[in-house]
Amino acid sequence: MSKNRYEGLLVLDTQGREDTVKDVIERLEKDFKKEGADIEQVQKMERREFTYAAGHLSGGYFVNFVFQAEPTALDKLRAKFKLDPEVYRQHFQKLRPKKAARAA
């Protein structure tokens, strides 16, 4: 099976524990790697307030992962993060394959 490129936006519930964000992101990176994902980029997008509060949180820490993985790994990651109390929301989308650099 070939790997597809994905973008995964995770919203972390770090309320009252902002000092643990770095540790949480490192743990999530390990979870991606355990499922065979190759991480290209991790974009730490800071804490943002939600436009409207849906539930107990008024905001969250946004982190964007760009990675390559087999489609079956995506299902495993979704299930794992759904059970993770520090992952408040998750959204994944498939990206176009990265274009190979052309030799001039």
Q: What is the pLDDT of residues 42-52, one digit of tens each?
A: 999 988 888 87
DSSP character at residue 101: P
CB 24 within 8 A of CB 70: no
Q: What is the mean pLDDT of the chain?
A: 89
For the chain, what's the residue count? 104
Question: Which CATH code, of 3.30.70.60, 3.30.420.40, 3.40.1190.20, 3.50.50.60, is assigned to 14-52+59-95?
Answer: 3.30.70.60
- Per-residue model confidence (pLDDT) at position 61: 93
At CB < 8 A and 24+ separation, what contacts does 75-84 make? 76/35, 77/8, 77/31, 77/32, 77/35, 77/37, 80/31, 80/35, 81/10, 81/28, 81/31
Q: What is the pLDDT of residues 54-76, one digit of tens each?
A: 677 888 999 999 999 999 999 99
Q: pTM for this one?
A: 0.86
Q: What is the pLDDT of residues 2-45, one digit of tens each?
A: 899 999 999 999 887 777 899 999 999 999 999 999 999 999 99
Domain boundaries, the chain: 14-52+59-95
